Structures are given as structure tokens and as C-alpha cells.
Structure 1
Amino acid sequence: MELTYLKTFREVAKSGSYTRAAETLGYAQSSVTTQIQKLEAAYGAVLLERYGRGMKLTLAGETLLQYADEIARLHEESKEVVSKQSKGTLSVGTIETMAAFYLPPYLQAYRKQFPDINVTLQPGNEPYIIEEVKEGSLDVGIILDPPFSDPELHTVVLREEQLVIIAHPDHRFGGLSEVRLEDLENESLILTEDGCTYRAMLLKLLRSGQVGYQLAYEFGNLEAIKQCVIYGLGVALLPRIAVAEAVRQGLVSATPFVHPECRFYTQLIYAKRKWQSAAFKGFVTLLGEGEATA
């Protein structure tokens, strides 16, 4: 039985007239009559009877009206709860840099807007995040990449992230305004883990430019990389956002790495087929508007 029939029944009961109910609902009077007849057939009882020029509820009609009012109330409540998605989980896949240095203030603001939504952060590298978003295991991905596109995904570019070469404060790079590819000749490099997009970019450029270097260390943890640089064990390529505090404290120097292929952006991705709840839209909007006003 359709909710529409119960809505029509409630309106006839309220107005006491098929004609007035039809005018209010925007139906032909014959349509109202048909819907009431179908309700009566479904319940096996007469719900309305003519009384003078109007219609009056029978005892069965009065009983049904109580249920119809409650059904209508529950229906409206369900629409409000579902549309707001006031409870639930939002899964976000991101790399360590974004989880530690970019997302926290946005997560704080999001919690104020959607206090009953539990946000889970799933760390991983870009290929993993992209695949999990496509599969639907993650609602949203935050990646750091050159401009990214995929036919299955929506991509929202949030901002450009500057990549810098960090070094011990006494290193010669501290006196440069920028570091170019050739400046890395014979340097000891401390690299991020395999699968990191800016690591892959750097190694590709070094190979194609035939620039010799030494692989000093390789870590999957940004703090370990920074500590090795602080102790003078090599230099590293990292997003400026990840080393801002260490630079402020004078623990490392940070010099922009300049190359035409070194343009990386923080980007939000989600599946084109994904159903977008109010909570999901709120998260996407918050990040997009936050960068627009930054």
C-alpha cells in the first residue's frame, strides 16, 4: 500500500470533502475517490461515509486515522534522520603526511558539525587509497599527487603542496633559495617508502638526468626521516607542511625543490557511483571551502 493513499485519506479526513482534498493535493477528484476506494478494499472496511454535503469518518476510519498520523510522523522522522546521516561512520584513506599535518583542524570542525559521525582514518600509499576508494571500502581518499584523473572517480583539487629538500642547518642547501636537480649530485638521500608518489618522481628525475646520488636510508615514517636529517645523515624531499615545525625550531633547513615535473597537489577523491549522504557532502564541502578561504 502506498503512503500516498494514507496521505490522501488524512487530507479527506481533515477537510471532510473529496473536492477540497483534491484541490489541496493537486489531484483530480476522481483520483482521490479511487485512492480511498483502494484503501477500503485493502482494509476490508468502509472508512468514510457521506454526512450531509461532506464526508465523515466511520469507526474504522477513526481507527485508521490514528495509525495514518503515526505512520506519517515516522516517515518524516526517517527522512530527516537519513538525510542528515546523524549517526554512522565516514572512512577516509590518506597518506601519513595528510593525516598528521593537514586533516586535524578539518576533523575538529567536522566533529562540531556532525558530532555523531565516527571518522575512521585508514593510512596507506596512493595506489592503495585509489583502489580502495574505487572498490567502495573507503568513502573518501586524500592523496598527494600531480593532477590526478580516473574515469571512475571524482577529483577535487584542494591546494598545491610545496615540496622542499630538508637538510641539517649547516648543510650548503641552507644558503640556497632553491634546489635544482643537479644540486643533488653525490648527495646522501633519505627516502620515503616505496609507493610514495613524490619519491617516485624524484628517482625518475635523477635517473633521467643521470644525476648520481647515494641512498642513505629509507623509511616509511616521516619522523624517522626528519630525525636522520637532524643528525646530518642525509637530505630528504618532503612536503613543507610536514616539516614546518622542525624548520621553525631551527632543527632543519627547508629549501624549495624546483623542477617542471615537481607540481604536487592535495586532492580529494571519491567514487562517481557513491551515494552521497549529508554527512559525506558535509565533509567534502568543508575541505573545499576551507581551502577556498585559506
Structure 2
Amino acid sequence: MELTYLRTFREVAKWGSFTKAAETLGYAQSSITTQIQKLEEAYGAVLLERYGRKMVLTMAGEALLQYANYICRLHDESKEVVAKQSKGTLSIGTIETLASFYLPAYLQAYRKAYPDVNVAIQPGNEPFIIDAVKEGALDIGIILDPPFSDPELDCSILREEPLVIIVSPDHPLAGQGEIGVEDLENESLILTEDGCTYRAMLLKVLKSNQVTFKLSYEFGSLEAIKQCVTYGLGIALLPRIAVTEEVMAGKLAAIPFIHPECKFYTQLICAKKKWKSKAYVGFLELLSGGAREGDSDAGSELSK
């Protein structure tokens, strides 16, 4: 049975007239008559009867009207919710650095725009995130990589993410304006976990330049890495945004790492075939808008 018939039935019941219902709905009167007849056939009952010049509901019609009102109200509500995409879950895969130091201000702004959307952050390394987005297990991926492309994904650069060598303030390298790969000769390195793209880059350039180093520690935690560097247990390569507070507090020194392969960008990836809801598009636009406003100012502006 078509929802249209129930809407027509409600209008006839409201006005007590086929003619007035036809005028309101923009139908021919014969169409109104046909729809009511089909509705009565479907229910096997007379729903309306004529009293003088007015159509009034029978007992069966009175009972159906309650359901018709309820069904039409639910339908209108469902259209509104689907159109707004104001409910549900948005799953985002990203690395710890971006989850901790890049996303929070954007998530705050997104919550204001879509308060009923649950955002699920899935931490992981870049290979995991890329595969999960391709498979549809994640809606969106935010990665830190050299410029990335894939035929199955829409990829966009949000901003460049400078990498720095962090050392304790009393380390000999702390006073340098920049650090090249040759400066890392015989240094004790504290590395991020295997699968981290900038770890792989660092090891590659050290090997290709035949730089000798000591691998002191490996951690999957940025906080553990920063603490170990603070205590003079080695030096590490991290994104600058991850160490801003410690540098300002004088706990760490951060020196730009200069190398042609050390060009990393925060990038947004999503599957080309994925259906994009309004809430989904809203998050993409929020990130892209922040990137256009400027790397350093976007987050602070969003959090106001």
C-alpha cells in the first residue's frame, strides 16, 4: 500500500471533502476518489461515508486515522534524519600524533555542528589505515606521509607537517639551527614503532648515507619517546606538533631535520566508491576549510 493513499485519506478526513482534499494536494478529484477506494479495498472496510455534503469517518476510518497520522509522522521524521544525517557513527583512522595533536580542535567544532554523530577514532599505522579505508571498515583516514595516491582512494593534502630531531636541552645538537643526516653519526636513536612512515624514511636515509648509529629504544608511545629523550637516553625524530609543549617548557630542544626525502604531509583519504552522507561531507569540509585557513591558525580558530 502506498504512503500516498494514507496522506490522501488524512486530507479527506481533515476537510470532510474530496473536492477540498483534491485542491490541497493538487490532484484531480477522480484521483482522490480512486485512492480512497483502493485504500478501502486493501483494508476490506468502508472508511468514509457521506452525511449531507460532508464526508465523515466511519468507526473503521477513525481507527485507521490514528495509524495514518503515526505512519506519516514517522515517515516525515525519517526523511528529516536521513537528510540531515544527524545521527550515527563516523569512523576515523589515524596515527597517534594526529589523534592527539591535530584532530581535537576539529572534533570540537564538529561536535557543535553534528552533536548526535558519534565519532569513533581508530588508532593505527598508515598501512592499516589505508587498507581499512579501502575495505570500508573506516569511513575516513588521516595519515602522515609523503604525497600519497591510490587509484581506489580520494587523497588530499591538508598541510605540510615539519619533522624535527628532539634532544635534551643539554645535548650537543641542541644549539644547532638545523640537522642533516651526517649529524646523526654515532647517535643513540629512539624510534617509533615499525610501520611508522617517518621512521622508515629516517632509517632509509641513514642506510643510504652509510651513517652509523645505535638503536637504543623502540616505542609505540609518543609520550614514552619524549620522556626518554628528556632523560638523555637518546634522540628521536618526531613531528613538530607532537613536541610543542615540551619545547616551550624548556624540557626538549627541537631542531628541523633537513633532507630531500623529509617532506611529510597530513593527508585525508577516503574510498572513491563510498556513499557520502551529509555528516560525512561536513567533516571533510571542516578539515579542508581548516587547511585553507592556514596550518598554524586553523586549530586555534576552530577551538574558539
TM-score (norm 1): 0.84
Equivalent in the alignment of 1:47:
47
Equivalent in the alignment of 1:3:
3
Matched, 1:126 2:126: yes
Worse-superposed segment, 229-238 or 279-288: 279-288
Residue 198 of structure 1 deviates from its aligned partner by: 0.8
Structure 2 residue identity aligned to 1:111 = R
Measured against aligned partners, the alpha-carbon deviations of 1:24-76 in whole angstroms (never above 9, x if no partner) come to 44445554443333212211233345677x76244143443332222211222
Q: Is the 8 A contact 1:134 1:153 kept in 2?
A: yes
Measured against aligned partners, the alpha-carbon deviations of 1:130-149 in whole angstroms (never above 9, x if no partner) come to 22222333333221112223
Equivalent in the alignment of 1:135:
135
Equivalent in the alignment of 1:266:
266
Q: Distance in 2 between matches of 1:225 and 1:258?
A: 21
Structure 2 residue identity aligned to 1:10 = R
TM-score (norm 2): 0.82
Q: Distance in 1 between matches of 2:125 and 2:27?
A: 57
Q: Percent identity?
A: 73
- SS of the residue aligned with 1:288? helix
Q: Is the 8 A contact 1:95 1:126 kept in 2?
A: yes
Equivalent in the alignment of 2:302:
none
Matched, 1:182 2:212: no
Q: Is the 8 A contact 1:48 1:55 kept in 2?
A: no
Equivalent in the alignment of 1:233:
233
Structure 1 residue identity aligned to 2:55 = K
Q: Is the 8 A contact 2:219 2:225 kept in 1?
A: yes
* Cα distance change of structure 1 residues 58 and 249 upon mapping to structure 2, 3 Å threshold: closer
Equivalent in the alignment of 2:213:
213
Matched, 1:56 2:48: no
- SS of the residue aligned with 1:56? strand
Residue 164 of structure 1 deviates from its aligned partner by: 0.9
Aligned residues: CA RMSD: 2.8
- SS of the residue aligned with 1:267? strand
* Cα distance change of structure 1 residues 15 and 232 upon mapping to structure 2, 3 Å threshold: same
Equivalent in the alignment of 1:200:
200
* Cα distance change of structure 1 residues 263 and 24 upon mapping to structure 2, 3 Å threshold: farther
- SS of the residue aligned with 2:250? coil
Structure 2 residue identity aligned to 1:228 = C
Q: Which runs of 5+ in 1 are unaligned?
A: none
Q: Is the 8 A contact 2:13 2:57 kept in 1?
A: no
Measured against aligned partners, the alpha-carbon deviations of 1:180-207 in whole angstroms (never above 9, x if no partner) come to 3333333332211110011112222223
Residue 96 of structure 1 deviates from its aligned partner by: 1.2
Measured against aligned partners, the alpha-carbon deviations of 1:232-272 in whole angstroms (never above 9, x if no partner) come to 33321110000111111122211222233222222233333
- SS of the residue aligned with 2:234? coil
Q: Distance in 1 between matches of 2:198 and 2:29?
A: 68
- SS of the residue aligned with 2:243? helix
Q: Distance in 1 between matches of 2:142 and 2:11?
A: 50
Q: Distance in 1 between matches of 2:173 and 2:276?
A: 47
- SS of the residue aligned with 1:259? coil
Matched, 1:101 2:89: no
Q: Distance in 1 between matches of 2:4 and 2:178?
A: 68
Q: Is the 8 A contact 1:189 1:236 kept in 2?
A: yes
Worse-superposed segment, 195-204 or 34-43: 34-43
Q: Distance in 2 between matches of 1:156 and 1:65?
A: 53
Residue 106 of structure 1 deviates from its aligned partner by: 2.7
- Count of matched residue pairs: 293
Equivalent in the alignment of 2:148:
148
Q: Distance in 2 between matches of 1:40 and 1:280?
A: 43
Equivalent in the alignment of 1:158:
158
Equivalent in the alignment of 2:301:
none
Structure 2 residue identity aligned to 1:240 = R
Residue 275 of structure 1 deviates from its aligned partner by: 4.0
Q: Which runs of 5+ in 2 are unaligned?
A: 299-304
Q: Distance in 1 between matches of 2:109 and 2:2?
A: 41
Residue 84 of structure 1 deviates from its aligned partner by: 4.4
Q: Distance in 2 between matches of 1:148 and 1:19?
A: 64
Q: Distance in 2 between matches of 1:131 and 1:40?
A: 55
- SS of the residue aligned with 2:147? coil
Structure 1 residue identity aligned to 2:121 = L
